[in-house]
Amino acid sequence: MAQLTFDSTKPFDFIGVGRLCIDLNANEIHRPMEETLTFTKYVGGSPANISIGMARLGMKTGFIGRVADDQMGRFIEQYLDKNGIDTSSVITDTNHSVTGLAFTEIKSPSDCSILMYRDNVADLYLEPQDIKEEYIKNSKALLISGTALSKSPSREAVFTTLHYARKHGTVVFFDIDYRPYSWTSEDETAIYYKLAAEKSDVIIGTREEFNLMERIDKRDEPNDWSTAKDWFKHEAKIVVIKHGDKGSISYTKNGQSFDSPVFPANVIKTFGAGDSYAAGFIYGLMKGWKLPEAMEFGSAAAAIVISSHSCSDAMPTADQIKEFIHDCNNGSQSIQKEGVQ
């Protein structure tokens, strides 16, 4: 990809930074959580899901984060190990913290919600001294997400990561990942998101998330192209703005824009689409594909994951994505409901 350069001499392809938690997905779907009796446990958290997706795609992947000193924390670390993710920078927290929990409600394919428990969670105790410069130096790319910016000391740890990445030419992907319950105010969110975005090579978010970042500039009627141009004044080479079931648009610093295809899918739930899209998209960019090809790959990965009960467990391999695209292009994919991306 002409806009991005990945140093092929570095041993790690990709490092995720930040949130490691547990998803508890409702087994009794098509009903409210009040009537749900059983849940299935999965590893969750946006940067964790994206990192798992990258590992499934065959990329040498590591992770920087903290887990609680409890059964759930050990489950998370063991799961990362089983998926071939380097956990040498995953630290067991000793602050009497807990593992974050996300209970999911699946009333219908289009009506899903998440009940989060995020008080005193281990991932927000990530500290600047946890960030090893050599680890960042040895990776071609890394991903930060917005939740890790919501509290100290995790916030300072992220900016330490960004400093090392810029120093050593590690490509930075920023998944905005806005979770309002993690923040004190929208003004606080906008300030720290803006500071992180200014140091990122690729920024990925929804239109609403970009609107939030632009609060500090008090723009009345932001549009996608003006948003992208503002970030190109800093380090950004690619800006991806997502529009839900209408797909996404990627803008490049040289003035191009590309629409993402939206694949049909047998939709079970909507969450997980953004994480799987990011993994497939980043994989394509790191393979040197043209931007439309990377976007297509990400969209296909998203369609696969929203057709499954899980997020992390459903992250597909490259062969599965290629087969899915082939089947869709040849009309052999069985579809019940239009997909979302």
Locate tokens 């319950």: which residue?
181
d(CA 251, CA 161): 25
Residues 18-37, mean pLDDT to the nearest whole number: 92
> Would you list the DSSP string of 38-62?
-EEEEEE-HHHHHHHHHHHTT--EE
More confident residue, 69 or 218: 69
pLDDT tens per residue, range 127-186:
999 999 999 999 999 999 999 999 999 999 999 999 999 999 999 999 999 999 889 999
Secondary-structure breakdown of the chain: helix, strand, coil percentages, each rounded to the nearest 5: 40, 25, 35
d(CA 48, CA 77): 11
Say if residues 16 and 63 touch (Cβ distance below 8 Å): yes
d(CA 318, CA 45): 22
d(CA 155, CA 195): 11
Residues 299-328, mean pLDDT to the nearest whole number: 92
d(CA 84, CA 293): 26
Buried b (16+ CB within 10 A) or exposed e, 137-147: bbbbbbbbbbb
d(CA 230, CA 324): 36
When mean pLDDT is compared across 124-138, 257-271, 306-320, the lowest value belongs to 257-271
Q: How far is CA 41 from the centre of its chain?
A: 19
Mean of the per-residue pLDDT values of the chain = 92
d(CA 331, CA 335): 10
**For residue 219, what pLDDT band results from cuts at 50, 70 and 90?**
low
**For residue 331, what pLDDT band results from cuts at 50, 70 and 90?**
confident
Rg (CA), the chain: 19
CA distances from 160 to 82, 231, 244, 327 (A): 28, 21, 32, 44
318-329 and 291-305 are packed helices; what angle lies between their axes, rounded to 10 degrees? Answer: 90
Any idea what DSSP says for residue 179? -
Q: Classify 328 as helix, strand or coil.
A: helix
Domain 12-20+46-97+123-329 part of CATH 3.40.1190.20: yes
CA angle 336–22–262, rounded 5-degree value:
30
Count of Cβ atoms closer than 10 Å to residue 41 Cβ = 14
pLDDT tens per residue, range 40-68:
999 999 999 999 999 999 999 999 999 99
